[in-house]
Amino acid sequence: MLRKPGSLSSLKSVFVFLFLLGFFGQASGDEEAVATEEYSDGARQCMICHAEGREREAHEIFLTPMGISKDPDSPFAEGSHDCETCHGPSASHRKRQPDGSRLPPPVTFAKGTPVGPQNAVCLGCHEDGNRIHWMGSTHDVEEVACVSCHEVHVARDPVMDKLTQQEKCFSCHPRTRAETFQASSHPLRFGEMACSDCHNPHDGANDYLLVRSTVNDTCYTCHAEKRGPFLWEHAPVTEDCTLCHNPHGSNHEALLKQRPPLLCQQCHSPGGHPALAYTSETAQNTFQQRFLLAQSCTNCHSQVHGSNHPSGVTDLR
C-alpha cells in the first residue's frame, strides 16, 4: 500500500511526541530543582530543555539506532545513563547558577572544545570494525572531531547520504571539489558515488585512507576487468593507476593526467616509436597526424591495460 505524501514525517512526529509524553508524565516539571545525585534522572530530565522546538533540541536521537532502549549497546539501554552515557554525570548541569545560567556538562561536543575527550567518548563504543585503525590515522593526527563530520541528534546522519557526505568532505578538501567539476570525473556530484566508496575516513592502515591496501586494489572494486592477470602486462598499469589517471577529475578524457600522445611520451621516449615527440605544432602530414587525432596512440595500441592475445606484446590486440 502506498503511503500518502508526508505520512512518514507525521509518523516520526507522533513517535517522538508519545516518547516524550512518557518522559514528561514522570518528570517533576521543575527546571530549577536542585540535583542531589551525581547523575540526573535520565533522559526525562534532559528532554525538559532539549525537546522539539527548544533552542538545542535533541529529541530526534530517539529515531536513531542509538536511541533504541532495547539494544544492549545503546546508551539508553537498561543500566546505562541515557544522555549522560556520552555527556558524563550532569547533575550540576541541571542546577541553575545564581545568574540563571547553567554549567556545561562534563563532556560537550561544541566547536572549540578539546577534541580528545570528545572522540574518546565515541571510541568507547565505536572502536571496532572499520574504525579499528583510527588511532594514528590522518584525521586523528589532525585532531578532527567525530562531530565535525557526524550529527548524532538527527534522525539520519547527513554523512550517510551520498550527496551530503561529499559536502562534509569538501569543507576541508576544496581542491577535490574543484576537480570533480572538471570535464572528466567520477559521478560524485550526481550522487552515484560517495567519497567513502574509495576512502575510509576512520582507517589509517592504508595510504590516502583508501578502503583497500593499494590504489589499484581500490580501483579494481569497480574496474575488475582491469585487474588481469594478463599475458602481456603494461608496466604502469600493474604499478599504480594514478600514474596515468587523476581519480578525482581531469580536463582530459578518461580522467587522464595528460592527453595522448603527451601522456604516453612521458615513458615512451622520442628515441623509440614514433621517432619524434609529436604535438599539434610539429605534425605536418596525415601520417604524423594519426599519432595525434582521434584516440592518438590507442588508434593502434588499443589494449593499454594489458593483453591476453598471443601477439599482444605491443598491446595492439
The model's pLDDT over 216-253, given as tens digits with 9 standing for 90+, comes to 999 999 999 999 899 999 999 999 999 999 999 999 99
Q: What mean pLDDT comes out for the span 187-204?
A: 94
Comparing 265 with 4, which gets the higher pLDDT? 265
* SS3 assignment, position 133: coil
Report which of 4, 5, 24 is spatially closest to residue 16, judged by C-alpha positions. 24
Residue 130: per-residue pLDDT: 83
Comparing 4 with 256, which gets the higher pLDDT? 256
Q: Quote the cell numbers at residue 313.
A: 606484446
Return d(Cα 265, Cα 171) in angstroms, integer: 37
Return d(Cα 204, Cα 198) in angstroms, integer: 14
Report which of 195, 192, 242 is spatially closest to residue 217, judged by C-alpha positions. 242
Is a pLDDT exceeding 60 seen at residue 21? no
Region of poorest pLDDT, from 41-55, 136-150, 178-192, 231-245: 41-55
Residues 6 or more apart whose Cβ sits within 8 Å of residue 197: 211, 221, 222
pLDDT-derived band of residue 5, with 50, 70 and 90 as boundaries?
very low
Residue 55: per-residue pLDDT: 80
Region of poorest pLDDT, from 167-176, 255-264, 278-287: 278-287
Measured over the CA atoms of residue 16, residue 62, residue 161 and residue 146, the dihedral's sign is positive
Is a pLDDT exceeding 90 seen at residue 1? no
Could you tell me what percent of the chain has a pLDDT over 70? 79
Q: What mean pLDDT comes out for the span 56-77?
A: 89
Q: What's 131's DSSP letter?
A: G
pTM score of the predicted model: 0.77
Residues 6 or more apart whose Cβ sits within 8 Å of residue 239: none
| Residue 210 φ then ψ, to 5° | -70, 155
| β-sheet bridge partners, residue 307 | 232
Calculate the average pLDDT of the chain: 82
Comparing 86 with 289, which gets the higher pLDDT? 86
User: Could you tell me if 201 and 170 are in contact, meaning their C-beta atoms sit under 8 angstroms apart?
Assistant: no
Residue 18: per-residue pLDDT: 42
User: Could you tell me if 42 and 35 are in contact, meaning their C-beta atoms sit under 8 angstroms apart?
Assistant: no
| Residue 184 φ then ψ, to 5° | -120, 125
Residue 6: per-residue pLDDT: 43
Is a pLDDT exceeding 90 seen at residue 115? yes
Is a pLDDT exceeding 60 seen at residue 37? no
